[in-house]
């Protein structure tokens, strides 16, 4: 008999419907990879839920439900619509709180708090509206983490509820805004937790605390958040939860990102035809107005302009290496100070640098296919996908040894790696790369090693599937408060008060 595991997959963004950052890639690819793992023994019924952002084209969506959430003394209306992605159901939640925010993420904490609390609670109610019961609620980052907390509250009230929750950490420093008043207005009890005092009213910590499993998006990042440098003040909490903390590396969509078929490229190629790849470099140099020269190392950066990404390290380092022979193509937008610093570098070296401060998916692909070296000097990088895409396209990555960069790039085998987040360490790695570049045979070995590495989603999806199965089977057992769950619960007339200690 085939076992079915139902998964409610919540995210703020997902390709191809809406994408702002790497979460959009993950939420668009992982559910499909999980669905493809279904076989005669187990079927994965994955249902994705997204906010109906203003930028999403709603014309082809089918209305499926209208329902209300209690907010204080009034009821607020939620609307649910259904679409599909390669046969996988995708639901979209709308309501005044979502319509009030014109973008996926805003700079207004009050708007985002209301929007994502409403979305998380409405998404948790959706299964009842469509007569479908999940075994797992899979939340991603702070925007949906409150669904894990609310799910636990429902388990406290209904001991027959057998729904487990997972929170995946894509970017821990974004813990979300203060939602203390929102919890009260939506009649959610504020539990006594073992979280730091300041974290007890933030959605990400609350969701992590309430979840049955925590997933960091690379094994190294799962280890890093146990320590002060990367733990964002929650490192002690994570050290107490190592039994439920997992590191699962993200993948990339290897069908979309394929240099043999990518229509954005001037010339398609594979690892056995690297001379054809060289034509993309010349085309990129011409497109950007750089001197067309196959012998000049062309460096690429495709990134948000954010201090996290270490863009300032790269800009300062390149300025110090002005006597070296190189060109730079930088595509990215974000921090105005970093954008200004990049433009200043271009002004000072107009014959070797081109800066494009915008989002341009087609140009990004051309950089992956045309640049010789991709620079990722990140201060922290939970996973990173740019280095994986770069390797698939034969662009050798130069990275700092953090998070997923450490897990995917190996010095002298697939790229160049440095440890300390400073200009000196970056420049030492870049000098190694520039010194090796003229040795075309050695360089092609790096390219081919990277192109041969499998960064597809199947292996990662299988790890998630194994985790789903363990959690689903665990919660299907008869309820035993001290043995099967994460907290011991003490209930009195005033409130539910979970006490951390290994049971629920």
Q: Give the model confidence (pLDDT) of 239-294 as tens digits.
A: 999 999 999 999 999 999 999 999 999 999 999 999 999 999 999 999 999 999 99
In a domain, 462, yes or no: yes
Residue 388's domain comprises 274-452
pLDDT at 492: 32
Domain boundary among 412, 429, 452: 452
Do 421 and 477 have their domain in common?
no
For 48, residues 6+ apart whose C-beta sits below 8 A from its C-beta are 9, 10, 11, 14, 27, 31, 85, 88, 89, 90, 91
Higher pLDDT, 359 or 127: 127
Same domain, 298 and 228: no
Q: pLDDT band at 107, cuts 50/70/90?
A: confident
Q: Is residue 257 part of a domain?
A: no
- In a domain, residue 320? The reply is yes
Tell me, yes or no, whether 490 and 432 share the same domain.
no
Both 53 and 159 in one domain: the answer is yes
Check whether residue 175 and residue 297 sit in a common domain.
Answer: no
Instruction: Please state, as a whole number, how many other Cβ atoms lie within 10 Å of the Cβ of residue 423.
Output: 20
Per the listing, tokens 């690429």 go with 300
360, part of any domain: yes
Judge whether 266 lies within some domain: no
Domain co-membership, 428 together with 468: no
Domain shared by 446 and 473, yes or no? no
pLDDT at residue number 160: 84
Q: How far is CA 368 from CA 255, 258, 480, in A?
A: 15, 11, 53
DSSP-derived secondary structure letter, 273: -
What average pLDDT does range 127-150 have in this prediction? 98
The string of DSSP codes covering 305-355 is B-GGGTHHHHHHHHHHTTTS--EEEEE--B-HHHHHHHHHHHHHSTTTEEE
DSSP SS3 for 28: helix
Q: What's 298's domain CATH number? A: 3.40.50.2000
Name the token pair of 298.
């062309």
Clarify whether residues 338 and 443 are in a common domain. Answer: yes
Mean pLDDT of 127-144: 98
Number of domains in the chain: 2
Q: Do residue 201 and residue 289 come from a single domain?
A: no
Phi/psi of residue 461, nearest 5 degrees: -60, -35
What is the four-CA torsion angle of 422, 428, 432, 438, rounded to 10 degrees? 90
Diameter of the chain by CA atoms? 76
> Is 345 part of a structural domain of the chain?
yes
The Cα 77–Cα 93 span in angstroms is: 10
- pLDDT beyond 70 at 145: yes
Alpha-carbon distance 9 to 26, whole Å?
11
Contact between residue 245 and residue 219 where contact means Cβ atoms under 8 Å apart = no
Cis peptide before 16 (omega within 30 of 0): yes
Residue 351 lies in a domain: yes
Closest to 301 measured CA to CA, from 218, 384, 226, 243: 384
- The residues facing 373 across adjacent strands are 299, 396
Give residue 477's pLDDT: 55
Position 210 pLDDT exceeds 60: yes
pTM of the model: 0.92
Same domain, 130 and 64: yes
76/189 same-domain check: yes
Supply the pLDDT for residue 475.
Answer: 77
In a domain, 300, yes or no: yes
Q: Both 309 and 409 in a single domain?
A: yes
């Amino acid at each position: 008999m085939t076992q079915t595991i139902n998964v409610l997959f919540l995210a703020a963004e997902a390709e191809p419907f809406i994408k702002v950052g790497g979460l959009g890639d993950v939420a668009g690819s992982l559910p499909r990879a999980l669905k493809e793992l279904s076989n005669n023994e187990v079927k994965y019924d994955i249902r994705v839920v997204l906010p109906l952002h203003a930028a999403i084209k709603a014309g082809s969506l089918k209305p499926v439900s209208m329902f209300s959430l209690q907010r204080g003394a009034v009821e607020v209306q939620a609307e649910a619509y259904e679409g599909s992605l390669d046969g996988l159901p995708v639901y979209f939640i709308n309501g005044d709180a979502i319509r009030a925010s014109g973008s996926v993420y805003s700079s207004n904490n009050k708007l985002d708090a209301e929007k994502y609390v409403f979305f998380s609670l409405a998404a948790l109610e959706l299964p009842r509206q469509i007569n479908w019961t999940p075994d797992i609620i899979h939340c991603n980052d702070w925007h949906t983490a409150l669904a894990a907390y609310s799910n636990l509250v429902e388990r406290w009230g209904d001991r027959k509820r057998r729904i487990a929750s997972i929170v995946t950490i894509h970017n821990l420093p974004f813990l979300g805004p203060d939602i203390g008043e929102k919890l009260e207005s939506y009649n959610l009890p504020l539990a006594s937790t073992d979280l730091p005092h300041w974290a007890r009213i933030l959605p990400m910590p609350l969701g992590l605390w309430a979840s049955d499993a925590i997933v960091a998006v690379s094994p190294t990042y799962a280890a890093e958040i146990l320590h002060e440098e990367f733990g964002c003040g929650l490192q002690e909490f994570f050290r107490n939860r190592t039994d439920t903390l997992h590191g699962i590396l993200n993948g990339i969509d290897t069908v979309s990102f394929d240099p043999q078929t990518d229509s954005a490229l001037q010339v398609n190629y594979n690892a056995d035809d690297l001379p054809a790849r060289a034509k993309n470099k010349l085309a990129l140099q011409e497109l950007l107005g750089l001197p067309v020269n196959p012998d000049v190392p062309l460096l690429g950066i495709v990134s948000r302009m954010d201090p996290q990404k270490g863009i300032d390290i790269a800009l300062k380092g390149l300025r110090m290496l002005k006597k070296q022979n190189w060109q730079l193509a930088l595509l990215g937008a974000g921090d105005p100070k970093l954008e200004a610093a990049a433009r200043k570098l271009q002004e000072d070296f107009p014959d070797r640098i081109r800066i494009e401060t915008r989002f341009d998916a087609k140009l990004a692909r051309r950089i992956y296919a045309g640049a010789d070296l991709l620079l990722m000097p990140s201060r922290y990088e939970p996973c990173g996908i740019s280095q994986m895409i770069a390797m698939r396209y034969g662009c050798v990555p130069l990275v700092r040894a953090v998070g997923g960069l450490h897990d995917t790039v190996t010095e002298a085998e697939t790229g160049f790696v440095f440890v300390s987040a400073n200009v000196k360490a970056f420049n030492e790695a870049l000098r190694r790369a520039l010194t090796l570049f003229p040795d075309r045979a050695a360089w092609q070995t790096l390219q081919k090693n990277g192109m041969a590495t499998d960064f597809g989603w199947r292996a990662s999806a299988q790890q998630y599937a194994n985790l789903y199965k363990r959690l689903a089977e665990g919660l299907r057992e008869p309820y035993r408060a001290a043995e099967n769950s994460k907290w011991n619960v003490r209930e009195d007339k005033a409130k539910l008060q979970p006490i951390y200690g290994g049971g629920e």
